[in-house]
Amino acid sequence: MIFDTHAHVNFRAFDKDRDEVIKKCLDRGVSIINVGSNFETSKIAVNLANRYKNVYASVGLHPIHVDTSILRVKDEDEGIGEEPDFNYDAYKELAKDNKVIAIGEIGLDYYCRPKTKTKLAEFKSKQKEVLIKQIKLAEELDLPIIFHCRMAHDGLIEFLKQKNLKGVIHCFTGDLKQAKEYLDMGYYLGFNGIIFKLDLNEVIKETPTDRILLETDCPYLTPPEYITDRNDPIGVEYVAKRIAEIKNMDLNELIGKTNENAIKVFKLDRKE
């Protein structure tokens, strides 16, 4: 068994064959956490989790879908745009489901940003405001958090230092210093197919095995050796293989340890 701790089989890219993909993964022993990026995709993730054993859901509003009235986001694979506001009560209702194991993905994303100073400040403060609301929800429901962070690590680190939260920094792409800061605060680091694009070898070597989570972020970030038009949770096997090589350790030992990490941080042993 192996866990893909960050998948999006809930996205539009899987509309035509979602159930086939999930069955194929489960038959192969790949367990899946489908991560929501807004209310719609969170709802689909929860529905899927309730239909399959070894499939779990995370619910949350991704920072790129926070409506700042400044930038418009549209992704054909994901299929939706911004939400007018974070509806705390609606997300809370959804997150109370027994198969919801985390709040996420939530965080800060300054990759696409407005150009003027005033608009940039407004944009950043709106993302932060929605992040704070979702952290409150995670605390209220005692759930760990799946953080998404792009071009904003130093800001997120400073912010998290004032908190005492549990969770993972998914798709970690920061530097070694930032990795250590997250690890010191007790967070896990999630690695996916981006390790084939960016040089994260040093970070991976220095991250203790008991703090690594394996993921795909499918349909995105297909590992080069996985010959497919669209990444899916099976891609996690290639990520595992590469990380075992970088850490110079036995593949099955790496999978076993990272499975334990997933079970521990998301309390999966308490779920059906």
Shortest Cβ distance from residue 64 to Zn ion (Å)?
10
Shortest Cβ distance from residue 50 to Zn ion (Å)?
21
104 versus 243: smaller Cβ distance to Zn ion: 104
109 versus 217: smaller Cβ distance to Zn ion: 217
Q: Which stretch binds Zn ion (CB under 5 A): 109-117, 139-147, 176-184, 211-219?
A: 211-219
Q: Which residue is nearest to Zn ion (CB)?
A: 217
For 240: left if phi > 0, alpha if psi spans -120 to 50, otherwise beta; the answer is: alpha
Interhelix angle 88-95/39-51, rounded to 10 degrees, is 10
> Which of the residues 79 through 118 are near Zn ion (CB under 5 A)?
none
82 versus 217: smaller Cβ distance to Zn ion: 217
Spell out where 83-200 has E strands: 100-109, 145-150, 167-169, 188-191
Shortest Cβ distance from residue 47 to Zn ion (Å)?
18
Q: Give the residue among 181, 43, 159, 170 at the shortest CA–CA distance from 106.
A: 170
55 versus 244: smaller Cβ distance to Zn ion: 55
Residue whose tokens read 């970690």: 172
- The helix/strand/coil state of 104 is strand
Shortest Cβ distance from residue 134 to Zn ion (Å)?
15
Shortest Cβ distance from residue 115 to Zn ion (Å)?
26
62 versus 124: smaller Cβ distance to Zn ion: 62
Rounded CA-CA distance 198/250 in Å is 23
65 versus 124: smaller Cβ distance to Zn ion: 65
For 92: left if phi > 0, alpha if psi spans -120 to 50, otherwise beta; the answer is: alpha
4 versus 181: smaller Cβ distance to Zn ion: 4
Q: Which stretch binds Zn ion (CB under 5 A): 16-24, 111-119, 176-184, 214-222?
A: 214-222
78 binds Zn ion (CB under 5 A): no
217 binds Zn ion (CB under 5 A): yes
Q: Give the residue among 130, 55, 140 at the shortest CA–CA distance from 92.
A: 140
Q: How open is the CA angle 105-203-244, to the nearest 5 degrees? A: 90
Rounded CA-CA distance 123/142 in Å is 28
Shortest Cβ distance from residue 55 to Zn ion (Å)?
16
With CB under 5 A as the rule, give the number of residues binding Zn ion.
1
Shortest Cβ distance from residue 62 to Zn ion (Å)?
7
> Which of the residues 165 through 184 are near Zn ion (CB under 5 A)?
none
Backbone φ, ψ for residue 4 (5° rounding): -95, 105
Q: Which residue ranges make up the site for Zn ion (CB under 5 A)?
A: 217
